[in-house]
Amino acid sequence: MRCRDFARGAAISYYSVGGNMIKLLILISVLCAPARAQEVKTIAVHGHRGSRGTAPENTIPAFKAALMAGADVLEMDMGVTRDNVLVISHEPRVTPERCLGPDGAKLEKAVPIRSLTLAELKKYDCGSLVNPKFPRQIAAPGERMPTLDEVFALVKASPYPAAAKVEFNIETKIFPAEPELSPAPAGFARLVVDAVKKAGMEARVMVQSFDVRT
């Protein structure tokens, strides 16, 4: 018998034969408590772009902060370099708002990630600039844009308890109107599958995309 059926029957009995309403409510509460407990669903806490409220988004320090805070899921976005390496970035470009140029100077314009090799991309400082929308964000000077492999390695080596079971919510950044910014959908998907399998993270990764082709 389901809890609500029992409660309805008990209430009918009360109105039929009379009795002590307080005792009836206590009885229903005790007998129904286990069933209610089983129905409770917990909320999964996603570290959005790591922990961009406290560290530059989608950087190793941001993901470390999310693990330290006990996040259930690390949420991130992926781009692909010219030599087909998956890197973590919400934007398909290296932007002046987020990164400094190879010479440490402010970028004059955004640079497509797809136009750079990983070695070239690693010359950009994506940790020195803080986002004014997040006053508690602390800069991480010299921090480079991480690869997906580096994030997996971080989690595997992390001393924080959350790392043992944290999951990954990763998005493929692909733009049908700007195909030059990413590989073809099938190629992008293959890179992700290969990286996840290589890291042994098949059971802990969910992939999302706003492009049905991937």
- pLDDT score of 28: 45
Same domain, 100 and 14: no
CA 192 to chain centre: 15
Q: Are residues 59 and 139 in the same domain?
A: yes
Residues 60 and 23 in one domain: no
| Per-residue tens of pLDDT for the chain, all 214 residues | 444 444 444 443 444 444 455 554 444 454 555 555 566 668 999 999 999 999 999 999 999 999 999 999 999 999 999 999 999 999 999 999 999 999 999 999 999 999 999 999 999 999 999 999 999 999 999 999 999 999 999 999 999 999 999 999 999 999 999 999 999 999 999 999 999 999 999 999 999 999 888 8
Residue 8 has a pLDDT of 44
In a domain? residue 214:
no
CA-CA-CA-CA torsion for 76, 82, 84, 90, nearest 10 degrees? 10
CA distance 154 to 126: 18
Q: How many domains does the chain have?
A: 2
Report the pLDDT value the prediction gives residue 136, as an integer from 0 to 100: 96
* Nearby residues of 31 by Cβ (< 8 Å), 6 or more positions away: 3, 6
pLDDT (0 to 100) of residue 12: 39
> Residue 38: what pLDDT?
60
Q: Which domain holds residue 12?
A: 3-39
Return the CATH number at 102.
3.20.20.190
Question: What whole-number distance in Å separates Cα of residue 110 and Cα of residue 97?
Answer: 9
The pLDDT, as a whole number, for residue 42 is: 85
- 21 with 54, same domain: the answer is no
DSSP state of 158: -
Which of these, 151, 146, 142, 140, lies nearest to 198 by C-alpha position? 151
Residues 67 and 21 in one domain: no
- E strand spans, the chain: 46-48, 73-80, 86-88, 93-94, 111-112, 167-172, 205-208
Rounded CA-CA distance 103/97 in Å is: 16
Is residue 81 in some structural domain?
yes
Question: What pLDDT shows up at residue 214?
Answer: 80
* 30 and 52 inside one domain: no
* Domain membership flag for residue 213: no
Residue 7: predicted pLDDT? 42
Asked whether residue 17 falls in the same domain as residue 85, the answer is no
Is the same domain home to 172 and 203? yes
Asked if 57 and 73 touch (Cβ cutoff 8 Å), the reply is no
